[in-house]
Amino acid sequence: MDSRSSELAVGPAREDALPASAATAVKIVVVGGFGVGKTTLVGSVSEIRPLTTEETMTEVSVGVDDVRGVEQKSATTVAMDFGRISINEELVLYLFGTPGQQRFWFLWTGLFEGALGAVVLVDTRRLESSFDVIGRLEDGGVPFIVAVNVFPDAPTHPLDEVRTALDLPASVPIVACDARSRGSSRDTLLALMRYLYTLSTQSAAAPVAASAATE
């Protein structure tokens, strides 16, 4: 009896259920190294306690990993924490935190497909770990902003210095963020949305600008 009931997976608590009218969902990806505060940021703005989904590493990824000698492989499963924000009665926003290290890029294919954009969360004490991530997002054509998580014990750097250190194009926004704060995390997401909005209105106007330039 007991063992039978423990097999039955329980869904969300009633208060965590979406309205029946929820019709579409969009996603934003928060990417960064271990301990940079991805789950903290997600948890700060999520209306549900962050949940964890996992994916199994493909054999190809394991092979690449072994060649690189990054880590002894015992675990073949990678967890991603995520949260949820109901935008309105029909629209739901999901936030996924994903590790930035190259050996986890196998997760990214389905994750970034259809995503609105990404927040690259960085720790100024470990900036070098963000180079690969930024390069990969640029190559993949994923729009992103950079958020510098402000740790109490980390030296503060002017954002311009971080931009230079990351070799970030002038067009990509960079903001300071306190991932523990709901307001600051929300503002970080809004900064991404404003950037995307600018891109969307620019791309709509682009054909006109192009034809004007040729005249």
Partner 1 sequence: MTPSPINDASSSWEQGGPERLYVITGGRGAAGRRADLDLVTLVVARAAARPEMQPEHASILRMCHYPLSMAEISAYLKLPFSVVAILVSDLLAESSVEVRAAVRTAGIPDPELLKAVMYGLQKL
For residues 80 and 110, the answer to whether their CB atoms sit within 8 Å is no
Is the Cα torsion angle 32, 33, 34, 35 positive or negative in sign?
negative
Q: Which of 149, 145, 73, 147 is nearest to 106 (CA)?
A: 73
φ/ψ of residue 26, rounded to 5: -125, 165
d(CA 58, CA 14): 35
Range in contact with partner 1 (rule: CB under 8 A) among 65-73, 77-85, 122-130, 163-171 = 77-85
Among 54, 139, 160, 215, binds partner 1 (CB under 8 A): 54
What x-and-dash track marks residues 107-146 binding partner 1 by CB under 8 A? ---xx-xx-xx-----------------------x-x---
Among 62, 91, 174, 176, which residue interacts with partner 1 (rule: CB under 8 A)? 91
8-state DSSP, 125: G
The answer to whether 20 contacts partner 1 (rule: CB under 8 A) is yes
Which stretches of 38-181 are DSSP H helices?
38-45, 59-68, 108-112, 131-140, 159-166
Name which position in 32, 36, 61, 96 contacts partner 1 (CB under 8 A): 96
Our finding on whether 70 is near partner 1 (CB under 8 A) is no
Between 127 and 196, CB nearer to partner 1: 196
Site membership for partner 1, residue 174 (CB under 8 A): no
Nearest to 188 by CA among 124, 144, 134: 144
Q: Which residues pair with 30 in a beta bridge?
A: 97, 119
Closest approach, Cβ 77 to partner 1, in A, equals: 7
Report if residue 45 touches partner 1, rule: CB under 8 A. Answer: yes
How many residues belong to the chain? 215
Q: Which residues bind partner 1 (CB under 8 A)?
A: 7-12, 17-20, 22-27, 45, 51-56, 77, 82, 84-88, 91-94, 96, 110-111, 113-114, 116-117, 141, 143, 182, 186, 189-190, 193-194, 196-197, 199-201, 203-204
